[in-house]
Structure 1
Amino acid sequence: MISALSGGIGILSILTAAAWLGLAWVPGGPDGTVGRVALGVACLGAVAVGILLLVAPRTGPLARVVFLGAADLGCALTALSCSDARVGLASTVTLGLVGSYAAFFTSRRVTAGQIAASAVVIIAVLVVGLTGGDQSIGSLYPFAAQAAFAGVFLTAILHYGFAAIGTRNSLQTGGPMRDELTEVLTRHGLYSAASTSLGALNRKDYLVVVRVHLDQFQDIAVGDGRERGEQVLKRVASRLAQGVRGGDFVARTGDAEFSALAGVTHEGVRIFANRFRELVFSVEDPVPVSASVGVAFAPTPIPSTGVQVAIDALLDRAEVAMRSAQDAGGDRVEIDWSVPDPMPSANAEAHS
């Protein structure tokens, strides 16, 4: 669903670029070189982000914020380049598309920032139209109202609706679906994502869980403070989320722990595990961290009625392997090569 929605927004972004380009021939559109250049830059940006969303629909938190910033800048350039403020305000209706993306894919703070950015763009176009042209507030009011509804109120309504759905899912599953700090899945979100994608996961030989512990996190959080620790978690979470393939999932399953779930071949178990160890460490980080990685896997198919039981069993086995990697000094991968039944029946229901 996420891939389909993100790809759909990518297509709409490209169509938006085409609509903006059409403003160059609309009466009241850009009437000078500067305006046309600004419009061209906005169109190129819309095409670029559209292609990005089509190629890599599961973008990380940083990429999503960059997308929103680029889209807002494109809307502002397009609207302010028009010689008629009414045409400019009409073009800002595309902020509704951007706001929809923010409401679904991002956190409450980012969505609030998007609403504020939309309001700033609309107000700026109004001010320029009233001070630099012959338009009156009466002639601009209908266009400003529709722009405000699309860019501000619709975004808020959608965000409230998605938040309500998320609350309902939280009540049904016993917890939130996404981690508020890092924006990756929670353990409950991992259950839901795996259940939704079980058909694709079962087409592989094994269901594998990788559990990652940040070795130096406790020292950073104590020595440098909570804020520095949160920055480390956000950076690592973003790299892990961007480093997985479509159909793989990343969740935060502890204070300094992340888990990943995927369907793999037997040969892919070690490759998948080592990739996550490599994604954690970066020499470019202000405070580089290494990872102790534990891995467990089970043969497919996983029955649809036992997804949570199977994942819990894999998480427990991967945690034992992860602790073994920590005890051995960290910065290494330990794999539990035992392959029990994917659906452990003894006392399994008690764990769910």
Structure 2
Amino acid sequence: MAGGIAWLSLLVAAAWVAMVSAPGGPDSTARYVVVGVAAAIAVVVAVIWLSRPEPGPRIRTAFIAGSNVACLAAGVAAVDGRVGLVATVPLAFVGMYAATFSTRPAFGGQMIAATVVVFLVTVIGVADGGEDIAELSPFVVQAAFAALAVPVILHHGLTIAGRDRTATQTGEPMQDTLTEVLTRHGLYSAAQTSLSALNRKSRLVVVRVHLDQFQDITVGDGRERGEQVLKRVAHRLAQGVRGGDFVARTGDAEFSALAGVTDEGVEIFANRFRELVFDVEDPVPVSASVGVAFAVTPIASTDVQTTIDDLLHRAEVAMQAAHDAGGDRVEIDWSADPTAAEGPGTV
């Protein structure tokens, strides 16, 4: 996925550069610069996605925001409004990404942003390009269909297909074949089955663990060595939890755990996982960036998957903060505790 987005971004950048010499393209130095900025943003996006095969939420947000800004810049730089509207077509790919990999609020925000971009490019095309709306209307329809209709159709299709249903409804695998711990869908199912026991604790906590050196290991020593690291870490995590706690593999180099804990148990549980990852006697020791989020119990049986998804997302944000701060640390999102200071805390 990361490679596909990167190459697509490079193709878009090349198309915008080609627009510079196309009939109806920029006609002034300022407009040339605007198109250059748009193309540069697309290139930066490509480099980031090629160098970070597991982008965190900040990278994803930057990708969406940067792509919107670049589409707007390329669209308004054209002299011919028709050319400008064609330059907004890459919004379709941004919207499809948001529909597939982002939350519903993020998808809704992207649809609003795409509407604004298409509207502004249309207005500027009519005002500066000399065309009237009748001349531009076929291109407006094309831009709107690409930016809005295609992502909405995809989003609707994913919903109908049951993307947000429970694991038992989707038929997704419950166990990761490499590490033999649960998958994300297995985590949903296990939590649903054990909900009464989890609700007997005061907090439902999710821990996300990213192996800091995994990418370096796979690049330097090969994928097979990386898989050996994953198996060892997964075994230690699974053996190190209490009965009734669950461990899942939720990313290429990432594990998550779910448990019911007491008010005081959040930090203890988080640090336990950080300690379980690192073993100085391993052939290739690795450290962990750990993100933690929790919710107050009880959790209704109808809200299990929604709650876990929210906790996984919040824990991912905290995990990325731990990774950005240098790794080998724990960041806790205390937002669910009204008595705690706002924002993630470091342990």
Relative to the length of structure 2, the TM-score reads 0.58
1:272 and 2:259 equivalent? no
2:254 to 249, 254, 258: 249
21-30 vs 152-161, which moves further:
152-161
SS at structure 1 position matched to 2:186: helix
Aligned pair partner of 1:204 in 208, 228, 241: 228
8 Å CA contact 1:6–1:53 kept in 2: the answer is yes
Alignment match of 2:97 (pick from 76, 101, 120): 101
Superposition deviation, residue 154 in structure 1 = 0.7
Q: Decide whether the 8 Å contact of 2:166 with 2:185 is kept in 1.
A: no
Q: Tell me the SS of whatever aligns to 1:167.
A: coil
Q: How many residues are treated as equivalent by the alignment?
A: 238
Letter in 1 for 2:254: F
Counterpart Cα distance in 2 of 1:131 and 1:54: 39
Structure 1 Cα separation of the partners of residues 163 and 106 of structure 2: 17
CA contact (8 A) 2:92 2:150 kept: yes
Runs ≥4 in structure 1, deviation > 6 angstroms? 199-202, 257-260, 262-266
C-alpha distance in 2 between matches for 1:156 and 1:201: 42
CA RMSD, Structure 1 to Structure 2 (Å): 3.9
Retained in 1: the 8 A contact 2:167–2:185? Answer: no
Shift of 1:127: 1.1
Q: Indicate the residue corresponding to 2:158 in structure 1.
A: 162
Tell me what 1:90 maps to: 86
C-alpha contact 1:99 1:155 (8 A) present in aligned 2:
yes
Q: 1:104 to 1:274 in 2, by over 3 A?
A: closer
The structural deviation recorded for 1:131 is: 2.4
SS of 2:54's partner is: coil
Matches of 1:169 and 1:270, distance apart in 2: 37
What does 1:1-352 correspond to in 2, within 5 Å? 5-163=1-159, 164-167=161-164, 170-172=167-169, 186=184, 188=186, 203-204=227-228, 206-209=231-234, 247-251=252-256, 253-254=258-259, 267-268=281-282, 271-273=285-287, 275-276=289-290, 278-281=328-331, 288-290=345-347
> Is the Cα contact below 8 Å between 1:81 and 1:88 reproduced in 2?
yes
Structure 1, unpaired ranges of 5+: 178-184, 192-198, 212-240, 291-352
**8 Å contact from structure 1 (residues 174, 188) kept in 2:** no
Whether contact under 8 Å (2:79, 2:128) holds in the other structure is: no
Q: CA deviation at 1:103?
A: 1.6
Per the TM alignment, residue 92 of structure 1 is displaced from its structure 2 partner at its CA by 0.7
Amino acid at match of 1:278: D
| 1:272 to partner: Cα distance | 3.4
User: Contact 1:28/1:82 (CA < 8 Å) preserved in 2?
Assistant: yes
Q: Which residue of 2 aligns with 1:180?
A: none
Instruction: Give 5+ residue unaligned stretches, structure 2.
Output: 175-182, 190-222, 238-248, 261-265, 291-326, 333-341
In structure 2, C-alpha distance between the alignment counterparts of 1:190 and 1:267, rounded to whole Å: 34
TM-score normalised by structure 1 residue count:
0.58
Distance 1:203 1:68 in 2: 32
Q: Does the C-alpha gap of structure 1 residues 18 and 274 become closer, same or farther in structure 2, counting only changes over 3 Å?
A: closer
Shift of 1:167: 3.1
- Counterparts of 1:8 and 1:84 in 2: how far apart (Å)? 30
> How many Å separate the matches in 2 of 1:133 and 1:139?
11
SS, match of residue 251 in structure 1: strand
| Contact kept? 1:103, 1:111, Cα under 8 Å | yes
CA drift of 1:168 comes to 5.1
Mapped to 1, the partners of 2:52 and 2:165 lie a distance apart of 29
Q: Is the 8 A contact 1:200 1:247 kept in 2?
A: no
Q: Deviations over 1:16-53 (max 9, x none)?
A: 10000000001111111111101001111101101111
Aligned to 1:349: none
- 8 Å CA contact 1:29–1:82 kept in 2: the answer is yes
More deviation, 125-134/111-120: 125-134
Give, in angstroms, the shift of residue 149 of structure 1.
0.8
